[in-house]
Structure 1
Amino acid sequence: MDLASQATGIGALSEPVRRALYEYVVSQTDAVSRERAATAVGVATHTAKFHLDKLVDEGLLKTEFRRLSGRSGPGAGRPSKLYRRGEREFAVSLPPRRYDLVGHILASAVERAATDGTSMAAAMDAAATDEGRAAGSTSASRSEDDLDRLSETLTDQGYEARVEDDTVLLANCPFDTLAKEHTALVCGLNQHYVQGVAEGLGADALQACLEPADGWCCVRTRRS
């Protein structure tokens, strides 16, 4: 999670006029002009323009240009600048949560089980491992030590990892609520995901193990 960027984007909505303009624009079925938005929330057009463009800068809105008259050619007038919801998604969770990742793994497992005829348990393990490998293979870590590389990569995934006594410990579980309600399922998924990340990093000597402990995520990783 890019916390700084996400927080800045969502923080743009803390200004009341800006938030009102955003809520109005996204509630419409089509893009709207700044004049229409200004009238809807009761502010001057130049004020609406300032706040709308700030929302565009943060990726919350996007713009397009279109003649509202529907006419074209000479005399049709200049195209108007219109605003609509941006395509960027925002989600800030502290501590970090990755329920989207669990959903993706579960969906992949269901498809795998339906296609290959494997059990759901095996499909879950395979899907979690594959997802972890993908994350590890695209890691930006430049550390030379495998444990450090795994720690940095898992921290980027929301685990708040740290290396202690030659072991990667995870101070945060990105799947916390699900893990509390479906412990065996989610912790097993977690173990295979972390192992997949290590494999994606090329750190084949690392082994992810289930070792639940109070105050820690259930997975610990050390050299095998």
Structure 2
Amino acid sequence: MRPRNDLDALGALGDPMRRRLYRLAVDSAEPLTRDAAAEALGIPRSTAAFHLSRLVDAGVLVVERRRPAGRGGPGAGRPANVYTPAADELVGSLPERHYELAGELLAAAAEHAEAEGTNVRRALTHVAPRTGARVGAGSEDLEDALATCGYDPRPDGSGGLTLENCPFHTLAQRYTDLICTTNLSLVEGIAAGVGDDRQPVLDPKPGRCCVTIRAEM
């Protein structure tokens, strides 16, 4: 599980024609072809091909080569490009936020609390490190994992890291103690999953995440 920030993809949809093509691909029961796109929107096939290629480049659509449905063997014709959405939904924000990750943590904690007969706050200290460990295990290093989650890690000059952005900013302002504790548990799990011995600690300061990473002792 790696959180996403699809700003580049969303930027590609700033063009009205590309938004229409993307919506067409999403709504289509079958993978979208250039011919079908051109016919549906009343545009030249070359125009459809151009914009579909740009959506592929931006990571909005995925392209494959397939033969037309129902055709096979000699004389079936050449395979055609077909397009499908790259993801079920697009998520993007600036500064980077990951409220979907917070929602997943809270939902998993609620399930765990019900199963174990405990409260959600305690369950979060169980769920968040395990989630962080999965993110860390799929990352190159601690900095990569933290950046993926939107923390914007920066070297602090002493071997540690300052986390310049809080991915749960609005929630942290409203529910500071709960979200900061969850942040710490999540980052501890990330560090453990990566195998980095540096120590996450609570060190709240204005304008950045409440967690910092201290160098190995």
What TM-score, normalized to structure 1? 0.74
Which residue number corresponds to residue 25 of structure 2? 25
Distance (whole Å) between structure 2 residues aligned to residue 64 and residue 41 of structure 1: 22
1:131 corresponding residue in structure 2: 131
Spell out the pairing of 1:44-55 with structure 2 (5 A cutoff). Answer: 44-55=44-55
In the alignment, what sits opposite 1:93? 93
Counterpart of 1:220? 212
The whole-number CA distance in structure 2 between the counterparts of 1:71 and 1:139 is: 43
Alignment of 1:196-211 (within 5 A): 196-204=189-197, 206-209=199-202, 211=203
Measured after TM superposition, the shift of residue 180 of structure 1 is: 1.6
Structure-2 separation of matches of 1:29 and 1:136: 37
In percent, how many aligned pairs have the same letter? 37
The offset of 1:33, in angstroms, is 4.0
> Structure 1 residues 20 and 185, CA, compared in 2 at 3 Å: closer, same or farther?
same
The equivalent residue for 1:41 is 41
The number of aligned residues is: 211
Distance of aligned partners of 1:116 and 1:42 in 2 relative to their CA distance in 1, 3 Å threshold:
same
Structure 1 consecutive aligned stretches of length 4 or more whose deviation exceeds 6 Å = 71-75
- The gaps in structure 1 that reach 5 residues or longer are 142-149
The structure with the larger Rg is 1
CA distance, structure 2, for counterparts of residue 152 and residue 73 of structure 1: 47
Gaps of 5+ in 2: none
Separation in 2 of the partners of 1:205 and 1:57?
Answer: 38
CA offsets, 1:35-93, max 9 Å, x none? 3322332211232233234434544334574656x688899x64884745323354332
**CA distance in 2: counterparts of 1:205 and 1:33, whole angstroms:** 51
CA gap of 1:29–1:216, structure 2 versus 1, over 3 A, is same
Secondary structure of 1:173's partner? coil
1:146 is aligned to none
**Residue type of the alignment partner of 2:210:** C
In 1, Cα distance between equivalents of 2:73 and 2:58: 34
Aligned to 2:173: 180
Compared with structure 1, are the counterparts of its residues 64 and 110 closer, same or farther at alpha carbon in structure 2 (3 Å cutoff)?
A: farther
